[in-house]
């Protein structure tokens, strides 16, 4: 492809088809991803800081661009050289012809002026290789801010600074200083660590793993992981998007748009480091339960990102996704020539959420007729140790044709009659026969299987040394396929019947009084404004007020000292239950007031809470804490005093809470077994509990000043009878 | 080593040093492992069924023996040949000189007569390669039984039948038909799958993994995994024992002796397949909780076996154990030239139960002085991307000398100034400096790091591609080291004050009546005979008997219909609680009897149980089911009606229940948080609970006719106040 072709193709891309436009709109209205066509497929590139000295990065990058076979225009920018590597130099960017992409490798202090010049010259994207920015301290941070400002002013995209560069093997273009060149393929790899990225490029060569793109994020001052993931998910040459991340820069934008990317392509993320979630030192139950990493876990789950725990897992899965169709279901057929690996694979299939396919009677019959009697014709199909390749052919054809088989796993141990290369050819033939079924291969061995595995990998059949790895990759594909089939679930938090103004008025009053902790009736009032069913309650400052409240609420009532300071209210004699008459209420009021004031003479009297005694139900907790990155984290689980002991709690982020999330977060807990009717008991009102969760989420989204919230206990009643929030605690930021 | 050397060495080994003798005695009196010296280091070998045809196994084995460099006498046995592969043939074993080891590769039907002849000839061990035994059905099973009987009669050891053979790389001897020869090393590998074994040999070659021994178990008719594990753990050339198992043949013997093996050497087992534990279809709580694989899990844990989940894990750990000293503690120092892999490794260190070492002030100072300012001098020590090898030297020396560092993890990404081979030499130097500290290396890359990793592996430094694998291996070493340091814990079940005869009398009565389910008071009586504190109770058949019982037990009492058939006793009006007087007891008795007989007219009246109302305590469950392989499985956890819902239960095998096990099985549960005093509550009587567990275990060991047992609830009281078993259920086999 020449520069003109690139230009033409580029022009073509600017006519965005309607479908694409629709896809790039986002539900919550965050800006769509920037157009990165001129980053990955520039018509022309300037290397600012190009050098004739082979030891300099400015030389290595230029050489990589040339060596990669890039067919557009290349302009080395260097005021002191005439030509470098046979290309005409320009003394400055302004003196070069039109430039789409400028790769900047000048000393840090020169970067901002160079960027300014690039902006004036109409450059579309900058890749700033130079280090010496935020990572070196306050001076660098100031420099970085200035760079961002220049890019913003001129509407330039910015990769880096402090990065390795950008590769697109299909353009082709390698604008990095990595010493290893990637093989062309369909994995896009986005790395927050440049060193890891270049090491992976070297390793991938040996493994014959092919990349469509590679991009080093550097300091992520301009383009972030979200921009790059979103764009890669639309790249026709990319089948799977992989990222190594140490953090997510803009949690809200991540939540708003990554779900869309994962509907198009599988997105695998290895996230290292632990986030310091806001909840860490929180005082609420929910805060103590929501661990450091929980919000990231939720963000990945809820957007459909597949989170991997290791680099091994990342590339095993990536290889599978890159080369194989998604399985239509969980049913795996195993063909092996040895019992042991067959058992190992079967164990792994069941452990990892897949199923052993039950072969159709015709399949079993065909196998029985064509294989010797010592072979096992049920799944796993064992062609046994003395199998020549022909038996593999028979077995593979049979399972490939069986409509009850969604995926095929071929296991081989090299024995005397095995002839692995011939078996490999039969594997290929099976793929032709069943192009919709993923096929994974594990040939256990070294030299004896090398020719066969090389052949298979060259033909895009993933090969693993050990069966468990193949199963792990298949299981990941199945999870993704199921999730994508399900499609997006509607938001659970679009509720019409909420009264934010009423809630804000309560919070406003607190703020004006300089208080952070809401009294019980105040918290209940805020909750009620969001349609959460709370036990009728009122704050009384005198015995008469208490009696009046009780009369209006209805007996029996409970009295409880209202106080943000007193945590264990019954320990100080601050609680009286089951009061059934005006006299009892009056007497209890006086008693509580006296007990508290004698035990805690300094205590400010806020009043006494009068609340209706509610019939008890299954105790639940619904809670909320805020994560710095991703906003409100919702918690649901078994309530009562043992919440922190049993830790039977599930979590979701409120910002992208879908109806499916609400249902799943209930189903994930053990208390769900009780709610749906344990040992013949009547089921609880699940619809009402789901609604309560959605309402708490809506509250958290509308009222950012509410830092933490605990509804504990919430009594769940029988189906049709709803629930009641017995105790609501709320704290402001 | 010649045949004479072998003989001399062999003679030397028969003088067992006292320490060895002591080690081979077993606590429960099972026979010690058979002497396998003449299996692994025979002075002479006969190959019965040796063949001149290179396609025959009888040829391949003979050639492998010769090629392996075996220096003893080799006698091919073949009536039709004069010489094979240059060796003189003998027409039958009887005509050959004295033979230590006979490898038999004749057709199945000829094996037993050949074995008989070997026995007469004084052969010490048979390795039966031939297939056609138990694995082919009843005829084969009979043949196998006959073979075992011959071996027993002559006192011959038997490997197989239906196996790949035996290798000892230090003898050296390869008596298998595997096409790949293993590298000499210090890993003993015992495989229940011959095909997997030979595939692993091929693979290990490529990975440069060295074996001391390799043995294929075949049908395990004679020598079992236990014999081979035990012997390998005493082999001076073996540093780590690995096994792939599909089952354990004799669970009791496994439990009795493998714990001793794991004190000497790390034993890694990959166990595939799921056991069909006796508990599967059991009716008790405990039975429903103890899953299929639970007994194996307990057996491995309690004997100190390291169970691995995959072949990858097996060999990563084996390589580490084979080549590195055990870490003295969990503190890992990480040296890296890239931030990303450093973070990934730190995450893994914390996730896998290790700790990031806190470097000593002198270490930090030394690093600060010798490294450039951009380097990170706390752990992970980051020598940054432009590091020449010299910086690695500085960092490695510093952490090697730091007494607060127990293990070193070296990470490297290949960058321009890195020079991996030089870094590798500095790693070696660090090992010299700190020979007691394990060093693991992860060099991420392909071609660029190959020379360095080849060099390190050749010098016995384990190299992994990705940091997580190195950390995983280190974590396994640390767990093993900690367990071995702890040493054997005394048995918890040696109790003097138990009265088995009293318990057996109760069971005898049931058996004579043809009943399987004990009535409450009967179960309580059996439990009491083992010193388990049960609520005072008696069985009354008339109102007068009930009153008498109540008077003797003391009020208040509960009355409950005694019946093995009625499960939900309160549903049929069969329970009355808190009865405080003789009249109340009399009235309740009549009422219960009438209600039950009107609701269930067919019901046989066994009587009514009168029991003391006990003050409530923390509800616990102690249970027992029997595993077919490993005997009684003990369960402990949170009791009450939600046992099956919360599944807060831990398990141990009674046969090897140690004091440490009893303590740990309590600590593993969540209810332990309550027992040790949750949120300021008083702690429970842990010593008494431990004793109750030991007593239930003793009961289960003494009374094999008790198939299942549930104590639920057991009320645990405050420290010093003991516990009471409120409800005891027992079922006979």
Residues linked to residue B76 through DSSP beta bridges, in sequence order: B47
3-state secondary structure of B94: helix
Which residues are CB-contacts of B286 (< 8 A; sequence separation ≥ 6)?
Answer: B279, B621, B623, B624, B625, B633, B635, B649, B708, B709, B710
Q: Compare all CA atoms of chain A with the CA of B638 and give the residue at the minimum distance.
A: A646
CB atoms A200 and B444 under 8 Å: yes
* CA dist A376 → A339, A403, B139, B585 (Å): 9, 20, 19, 66
Which residues are CB-contacts of B689 (< 8 A; sequence separation ≥ 6)?
Answer: B620, B666, B675, B714, B716, B723
CB atoms B341 and A195 under 8 Å: yes
Confidence of residue A289 (pLDDT cuts 50, 70, 90): very low
How many other C-beta atoms are found inside a 10 Å radius of the C-beta of residue A600?
15
d(CA B61, CA B80): 18
Tally the C-alpha atoms within 13 A of residue B603's C-alpha that lie toward its C-beta.
24
Q: What is the mean pLDDT of chain A?
A: 89
CB atoms B195 and A341 under 8 Å: yes
CA B162 from centre of chain: 25
What percent of chain A is modeled with pLDDT above 90? 72
Let me know: does A167 contact A213? Beta carbons within 8 Å: yes
Q: Which residues of B touch A206 (CB under 8 A)?
A: 446-447, 450
Let me know: does B332 contact B349? Beta carbons within 8 Å: yes
Is it the case that residue A61 has pLDDT exceeding 60? yes
Q: Which tokens is B11 given?
A: 């003679």
Q: Which tokens is B730 given?
A: 């027992």
Report the 3 state secondary structure along A164-228. CEEEECCCCEEEECCCCCCEEEEEEEEECCHHHHHHHHHHHHHHCCEEEEEEECCCCCCCCHHHH
CA A181 from centre of chain: 29
How far does the CA of residue A556 sit from the closest CA of chain B (Å)?
Answer: 28
CB atoms A198 and B415 under 8 Å: yes
- Regions of chain B where pLDDT drops below 70: 1-33, 274-292, 679
Q: Positive or negative CA dihedral for B30, B32, B33, B35?
A: negative
Question: What secondary structure does DSSP assign to B57-78, as a single string?
Answer: HHHHHHHHHHHTT--SEEEEE-
A482-501 residue pLDDT tens: 999 888 889 999 998 999 99
Q: Compare all CA atoms of chain A with the CA of B246 and give the residue at the minimum distance.
A: A340
Question: In terms of C-beta density within 10 A (0-12 exposed, 13-18 middle, 19 or more buried), how is residue B18 classed?
Answer: exposed
CB atoms B468 and A273 under 8 Å: no
* E strands present in B217-353: 240-245, 267-271, 306-308, 331-336
Which residues are CB-contacts of B712 (< 8 A; sequence separation ≥ 6)?
Answer: B285, B619, B620, B621, B622, B623, B639, B640, B643, B727, B729
Let me know: does B654 contact B701? Beta carbons within 8 Å: yes
Q: Please choose, from the candidates B642, B619, B524, B534, the residue with its C-alpha nearest in 3D space to the C-alpha of residue B285.
A: B642
CATH superfamily placement of domain B3-182: NAD(P)-binding Rossmann-like Domain (3.40.50.720)
pLDDT at site B487: 83
Find the CB nearest B340 among A272, A340, A466.
Answer: A272
* CA dist A143 → A105, A221, A222, B477 (Å): 15, 11, 13, 47
* CA dist B270 → A442, B247, B249 (Å): 18, 10, 15
Confidence of residue A274 (pLDDT cuts 50, 70, 90): low
d(CA A351, CA A395): 25
How far does the CA of residue B23 sit from the closest CA of chain A (Å)?
Answer: 33
pLDDT at site B274: 54
Q: Positive or negative CA dihedral for B333, B339, B341, B343?
A: positive
Let me know: does B610 contact B579? Beta carbons within 8 Å: no
Q: Which residues of B touch A341 (CB under 8 A)?
A: 193, 195-196, 199
Is it the case that residue A281 has pLDDT exceeding 50? no
Helices (H) and strands (E) in chain A, counts: 26, 30
Q: Which residues of A touch B246 (CB under 8 A)?
A: 339-340, 343
| Identical fold, B3-182 and B500-612 | no
Q: Which tokens is A41 given?
A: 């497929």
Q: Which residues of B touch A337 (CB under 8 A)?
A: 195
Rg, Å, chain B Cα set: 32
Residues linked to residue B356 through DSSP beta bridges, in sequence order: B332
Give the N- to C-terminal CA distance of chain B in Å, as an integer: 57
How many other C-beta atoms are found inside a 10 Å radius of the C-beta of residue B723?
24
Q: Compare all CA atoms of chain A with the CA of B244 and give the residue at the minimum distance.
A: A340
Q: Which residues of B touch A273 (CB under 8 A)?
A: 343, 346-347
Find the CB nearest B447 among A202, A338, A346.
Answer: A202
Comparing A145-159, A287-301, A528-542, the range with the smallest average pLDDT is A287-301
Q: Please choose, from the candidates B492, B336, B317, B495, the residue with its C-alpha nearest in 3D space to the C-alpha of residue B418.
A: B336
Residues linked to residue B87 through DSSP beta bridges, in sequence order: B84
Strand B557-561 to strand B537-540: parallel, antiparallel, or no bridges (unpaired)? unpaired
How large is the average pLDDT for residues A687-715?
A: 96
d(CA B457, CA B465): 12
Helices B311-323 & B467-486 angle (0-180, nearest 10): 60
Question: In terms of C-beta density within 10 A (0-12 exposed, 13-18 middle, 19 or more buried), how is residue A494 classed?
Answer: exposed
pLDDT at site A347: 87
A612 DSSP 8-state letter: E
Q: Which residues of B touch A272 (CB under 8 A)?
A: 340, 343-344, 347
CB atoms A203 and B445 under 8 Å: yes
Domain A618-732 has CATH 3.30.470.20: yes
Find the CB nearest B199 among A274, A311, A445.
Answer: A445
Domain A3-179 has CATH 3.40.50.720: yes
Q: Compare all CA atoms of chain A with the CA of B674 and give the residue at the minimum distance.
A: A645
A73-83 residue pLDDT tens: 999 999 999 99
Q: Compare all CA atoms of chain B with the CA of A56 and give the residue at the minimum distance.
A: B416
pLDDT at site A32: 55
ipTM, interface predicted TM-score of the complex: 0.81
Find the CB nearest B413 among A195, A339, A446.
Answer: A195
A96 DSSP 8-state letter: S
Query: Buried b vs exposed e over A704-731: b needs ≥16 C-beta within 10 Å?
Result: eebbbbbbbbbbbbebeebbbbbbbbbb
CB atoms B444 and A199 under 8 Å: yes
d(CA A573, CA A583): 19
Let me know: does A146 contact A171? Beta carbons within 8 Å: no
Q: Please choose, from the candidates B397, B385, B445, B398, the residue with its C-alpha nearest in 3D space to the C-alpha of residue B421.
A: B445
Let me know: does A645 contact A299? Beta carbons within 8 Å: no
Let me know: does A178 contact A201? Beta carbons within 8 Å: yes
Q: Which tokens is B446 given?
A: 């392909």
d(CA A318, CA A305): 13
Strand A728-732 to strand A87-88: parallel, antiparallel, or no bridges (unpaired)? unpaired
Find the CB nearest A195 among B337, B673, B678.
Answer: B337
Residue count of chain B: 733
* CA dist A597 → A406, A449, A519, A635, B367 (Å): 72, 83, 18, 36, 60
The ranges assigned to domains in chain A are 3-179, 325-461, 500-612, 618-732
Q: What is the mean pLDDT of chain B?
A: 89
How many other C-beta atoms are found inside a 10 Å radius of the C-beta of residue A210?
19
A197-239 residue pLDDT tens: 888 888 888 788 899 999 999 999 999 999 999 999 999 999 9
How far does the CA of residue B413 sit from the closest CA of chain A (Å)?
Answer: 5
Find the CB nearest A195 among B179, B340, B467.
Answer: B340
How many other C-beta atoms are found inside a 10 Å radius of the C-beta of residue A612?
19
How far does the CA of residue B401 sit from the closest CA of chain A (Å)?
Answer: 28
Find the CB nearest A446 among B205, B244, B312.
Answer: B205
| Residue in B58, B243, B340 to test binding to A, most A beta-carbons within 10 Å | B340
Let me know: does A143 contact A114? Beta carbons within 8 Å: no
CATH of domain A500-612: 3.30.1490.20
B490 DSSP 8-state letter: P
CB atoms B446 and A646 under 8 Å: no
Let me know: does A243 contact A218? Beta carbons within 8 Å: no
Please state which of the four CATH numbers 3.90.1150.10, 3.40.50.2300, 3.40.50.261, 3.20.20.60 is assigned to the domain occupying B325-461. 3.40.50.261
| Tokens 């402090």 -> residue | A162
Report phi then psi at A473, rounded to 5: -65, -40
Tally the C-alpha atoms within 13 A of residue B590's C-alpha that lie toward its C-beta.
6
């Amino acid at each position: 492809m020449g520069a003109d072709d690139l230009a033409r193709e580029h022009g073509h891309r600017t006519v965005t088809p309607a479908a694409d436009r629709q896809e790039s709109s986002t539900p919550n209205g965050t800006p769509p991803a920037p157009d990165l066509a001129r980053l990955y497929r520039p018509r022309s590139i300037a290397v600012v800081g190009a050098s004739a000295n082979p030891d300099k990065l400015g030389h290595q990058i230029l050489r990589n661009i040339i060596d990669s076979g890039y067919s557009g225009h290349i302009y080395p920018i260097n005021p002191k050289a005439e030509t470098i590597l046979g290309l005409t130099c320009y003394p400055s960017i302004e003196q070069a012809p039109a430039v789409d992409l400028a790769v900047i490798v000048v000393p840090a202090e020169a970067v901002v002026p160079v960027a300014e010049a690039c902006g004036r010259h109409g450059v579309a994207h900058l890749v700033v290789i130079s280090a010496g920015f935020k990572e070196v301290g306050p001076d660098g941070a100031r420099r970085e801010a200035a760079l961002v400002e220049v890019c913003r002013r001129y509407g330039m995209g910015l990769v880096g600074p402090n990065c390795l560069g950008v590769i697109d093997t299909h353009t082709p273009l390698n604008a990095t200083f990595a010493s290893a060149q990637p093989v062309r393929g369909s994995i896009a790899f986005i790395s927050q660590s440049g060193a890891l990225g270049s090491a992976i490029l070297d390793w991938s060569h040996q493994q014959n793993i092919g990349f469509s793109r590679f991009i080093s994020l550097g300091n992520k001052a301009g383009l972030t992981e979200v921009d790059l993931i979103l764009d890669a998910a639309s790249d026709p040459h990319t089948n799977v998007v992989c990222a190594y991340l140490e953090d997510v820069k803009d949690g809200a934008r991540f939540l708003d748009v990554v779900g869309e990317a994962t509907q198009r392509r599988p997105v695998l993320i290895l996230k290292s480091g632990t986030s310091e979630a806001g909840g860490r030192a929180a005082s609420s139950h929910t805060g103590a339960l929501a661990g450091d990493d929980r919000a990231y876990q939720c963000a990945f789950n809820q957007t459909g990102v597949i989170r991997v725990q290791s680099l091994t897992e990342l590339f095993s899965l990536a290889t599978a996704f890159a080369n194989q169709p998604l399985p239509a279901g969980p049913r795996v057929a195993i063909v092996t020539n040895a019992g042991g690996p067959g058992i190992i694979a079967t164990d792994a299939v069941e452990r990892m959420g897949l199923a052993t396919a039950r072969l159709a009677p015709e399949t079993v019959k065909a196998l029985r007729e064509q294989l010797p009697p010592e072979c096992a014709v049920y799944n796993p199909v064992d062609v046994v140790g003395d199998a020549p390749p022909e038996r593999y052919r028979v077995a593979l054809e049979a399972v490939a044709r069986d409509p009850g088989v969604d995926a095929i796993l071929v296991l081989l141990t090299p024995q005397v009659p095995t002839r692995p290369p011939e078996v490999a050819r039969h594997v290929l033939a099976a793929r032709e026969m069943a192009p919709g079924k993923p096929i994974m291969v594990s040939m256990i061995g070294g030299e004896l299987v090398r020719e066969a595995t090389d052949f298979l990998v060259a033909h895009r059949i993933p090969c693993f040394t050990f069966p468990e790895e193949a199963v792990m990759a298949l299981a990941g594909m199945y999870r993704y396929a199921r999730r994508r089939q399900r499609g997006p679930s509607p938001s659970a938090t679009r509720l019409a019947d909420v009264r934010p103004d009423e809630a804000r008025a309560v919070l406003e009053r607190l703020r004006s009084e300089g208080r952070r902790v809401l009294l019980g009736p105040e918290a209940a009032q805020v909750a009620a404004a969001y349609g959460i069913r709370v036990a009728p309650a009122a704050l009384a400052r005198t015995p008469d007020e208490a009696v009046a409240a009780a009369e209006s609420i209805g007996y029996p009532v409970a009295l409880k000292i209202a106080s943000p300071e007193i945590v264990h209210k019954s320990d100080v004699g601050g609680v009286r239950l089951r009061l059934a008459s005006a006299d009892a209420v009056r007497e209890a009021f006086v008693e509580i007031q006296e007990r508290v004031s004698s035990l805690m003479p300094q205590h400010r009297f806020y009043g006494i809470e009068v609340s209706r005694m509610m019939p008890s139900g299954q105790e639940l907790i619904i809670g909320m804490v805020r994560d710095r990155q991703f906003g409100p984290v919702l918690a649901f689980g078994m309530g009562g005093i043992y919440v922190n002991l049993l830790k039977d709690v599930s979590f979701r982020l409120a910002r992208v809470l879908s109806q499916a999330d609400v249902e799943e977060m209930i189903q994930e807990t053990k208390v769900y077994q009780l709610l749906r009717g344990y040992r013949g008991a009547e089921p609880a009102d699940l619809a009402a509990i789901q609604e309560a969760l959605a309402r708490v989420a809506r509250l958290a989204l509308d009222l950012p000043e509410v830092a933490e919230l605990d509804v504990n206990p919430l009594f769940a009643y029988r189906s049709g009878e709803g629930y009641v929030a017995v105790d609501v605690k709320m704290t402001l930021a």
